[in-house]
């Protein structure tokens, strides 16, 4: 079972990963965006880290809803409300249980991804974070390692896609040949989940 500590570790691992990879995320956002994705997420996850320390939420659902609120209020770009919705919806679906199963998390994450699709209007194949998140949520039924691999593959597959949502869509055909920054950060988020799970399983 996964408790609030597990979810705190997930968010801490995500914040650390975003710090390490900020430059790469911003570089990916240069040719098909406005070169701010790394700094956007760094600011957001720094706020998540501070809020989790100050408020010490004690259920999985409360950890994720607090993190989602921080991303919405501190990230200026499109990705803030989208990631914020992902985490808030996922957290809300987990309810107020003190511990949740992997299967419950998989189901909740699927609800979170549905929230991202509803807010941003993106479907699979539109070259967005959905292309990494949706396969990861599906693969989570087979475990954290499978989810991480699915997210990484999903992110890599965006290179060949033409963007239909977000800033990159303004480039039309010229968006092809570049990996989507949001799909890349989504793969980092799911890798951080696998990292949090590693710490449990040893």
The 1-40 site mask, x for binding ligand ADP (CB under 6 A), equals ----------------------------x---xx-xx--x
Of residues 99 through 118, those in contact with Mg ion by CB under 5 A are none
Confirm if 70 and 48 have CB atoms less than 8 A apart.
Answer: yes
Our separate counts of H helices and E strands in the chain read: 8, 2
Contact pattern from residue 92 through residue 131 relative to ligand ADP, giving x for each residue in contact according to CB under 6 A and a dash for the rest: ------------------------x---xxx-----xxx-
Q: Nearest to residue 139, comparing CAs of 114, 185, 86, 102?
A: 102
Query: Pairing between strand 99-100 and 2-3?
Result: antiparallel
120 binds Mg ion (CB under 5 A): no
Q: CA-to-CA distance for 123 and 121, rounded, in angstroms?
A: 7
Task: Tell me the two tokens of residue 7.
Answer: 């979810």
Shortest distance in whole angstroms from residue 76 CB to Mg ion: 9
- Is residue 56 left, alpha or beta, with left meaning phi > 0 and alpha meaning psi from -120 to 50? left
Which one of 17, 59, 70, 79 is in contact with ligand ADP (CB under 6 A)? 79
- Residue 61 interacts with ligand ADP (CB under 6 A)? no
Nearer to Mg ion, 13 or 132 (CB): 132
- Minimum CB separation of residue 27 from ligand ADP in Å reads 12
CB of 131 or CB of 195, closer to ligand ADP: 131
Say whether residue 167 binds ligand ADP (CB under 6 A).
yes
Residues whose CB falls within 8 Å of the CB of residue 201, separated by 6 or more in sequence, listed in order = none
């Amino acid at each position: 079972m996964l408790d609030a500590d597990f979810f705190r570790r997930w968010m801490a691992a995500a914040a650390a990963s975003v710090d390490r990879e900020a430059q790469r995320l911003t570089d990916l956002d240069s040719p098909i965006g406005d070169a701010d994705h790394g700094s956007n997420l760094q600011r957001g996850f720094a706020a998540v880290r501070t809020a989790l320390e100050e408020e010490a939420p004690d259920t999985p659902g409360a950890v994720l809803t607090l993190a989602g609120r921080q991303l919405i209020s501190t990230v200026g770009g499109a990705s803030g409300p989208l990631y914020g919705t992902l985490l808030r919806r996922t957290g809300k679906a987990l309810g107020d249980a003190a511990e949740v199963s992997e299967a419950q998390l998989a189901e909740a994450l699927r609800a979170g991804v549905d929230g991202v699709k509803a807010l941003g209007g993106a479907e699979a194949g539109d070259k967005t974070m959905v292309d990494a998140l949706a396969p990861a949520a599906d693969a989570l039924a087979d475990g954290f390692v499978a989810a991480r691999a699915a997210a990484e593959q999903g992110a890599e597959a965006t290179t060949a896609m033409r963007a239909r949502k977000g800033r990159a869509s303004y480039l039309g055909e010229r968006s092809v040949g570049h990996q989507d920054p949001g799909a890349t950060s989504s793969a980092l988020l799911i890798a951080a989940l696998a990292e949090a799970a590693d710490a449990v399983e040893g």
